[in-house]
Amino acid sequence: DTGVSQNPRHKITKRGQNVTFRCDPISEHNRLYWYRQTLGQGPEFLTYFQNEAQLEKSRLLSDRFSAERPKGSFSTLEIQRTEQGDSAMYLCASSVEETQYFGPGTRLLVL
């Protein structure tokens, strides 16, 4: 069990650019979640997968955000045409049942 890993750990980009983040879950976990966290707030749910199927997506999630989990293993989260308001920590978590195991997060700064 090597834990959940996320890459990159930090990303600085200019407004309007596209960015992609990767999450590698714990290998036997079938559920994978993406969250956004801003300063002083708890994790805000974005989307989740069960195996390769994306089962739910937050209604607050802009169409600029898309996520994939092509083989039911790692996942990517892409943000197109980034805006300054996208600056946040993006957290990935995996689970088998109710307990979530979080990665260290990717901190995004949009200039």
Partner 1 sequence: GDSVTQMEGPVTLSEEACLTINCTYTATGYPSLFWYVQYPGEGLQLLLKATKADDKGSNKGFEATYRKETTSFHLEKGSVQVSDSAVYFCALFSSGGSYIPTFGRGTSLIVHP
CA neighbor of 10 nearest in space, from 90, 78, 107: 107
Is 57 a binding residue for partner 1 by CB under 8 A? The answer is: no
Hey, which residues between 34 and 53 contact partner 1 (CB under 8 A)? 40-43, 45, 48, 50
Is 77 a binding residue for partner 1 by CB under 8 A? The answer is: no
Burial of 102 (0-12, 13-18, 19+ CB in 10 A): middle
Is 102 a binding residue for partner 1 by CB under 8 A? The answer is: yes
Return residues touching partner 1 (CB under 8 A): 4, 31, 33, 40-43, 45, 48, 50, 55-56, 91, 93, 98-105
